[in-house]
Every structure is written in C-alpha cells, then in structure tokens.
Amino acid sequence: MDDDELSHRARALLRAIAAGRAEVTRSREPDLRVDGLLCCDQSSVRDLAHAGLLQAALTNEVGQWVPAELTPEGRAMLA
C-alpha cells in the first residue's frame, strides 16, 4: 500500500493506534476499537492489517481484544 493510497480515515486510524487509543482482535480479519468504541469502517481496518501496517501488541488467544500497535511500515506511513 502506497502512502497516496491511504484515505483520511485510514490515516486517522493509524494516528489513533500510534497514540495508544486502539485495541484489535487477534484474527485473520481483525476488528478495531478506538477509545472503547467499535470502529465503523472495519473494511479499512482489515485493509490496513493485510497491508502489514498494524498488528496486535500481545499474543493472547485468538479473538481476544488486545492493544493495537503500528508495524514499522505503519510508522513509516505516518512519518
């Protein structure tokens, strides 16, 4: 995924993750919560996850909510 392919919403999601405000489920098709609220655009979340820009910070059971973190590629997208 190129930097110019990111929507405003995708950038906002990455900024929320970088700020430590997001949780993600550990699964192939992760869900994301920001400030405790379920993200309304799960397809964008999944696109970001499949592009390797975000990941679960902990390795708990599949399906559990854990803190989300940016990958090095995700941090580079925000730089």
Interval 64-73: pLDDT, tens: 899 999 999 9
d(CA 43, CA 61) in angstroms, rounded, equals 22
Write a three-state SS string for 23-53.
Answer: EEECCCCCCEEECCEECCCHHHHHHHHHCCC
60 has a pLDDT exceeding 80: no
pLDDT tens, residue by residue, 5-46:
789 999 999 999 999 999 999 888 999 999 999 998 989 999
Residue of 2, 21, 37, 28 whose CA lies nearest to 70: 21
pLDDT tens, residue by residue, 45-57:
999 999 999 999 9
Domains and CATH numbers, the chain: 3-78 (1.10.10)
8 Å CB contact between 26 and 64? yes
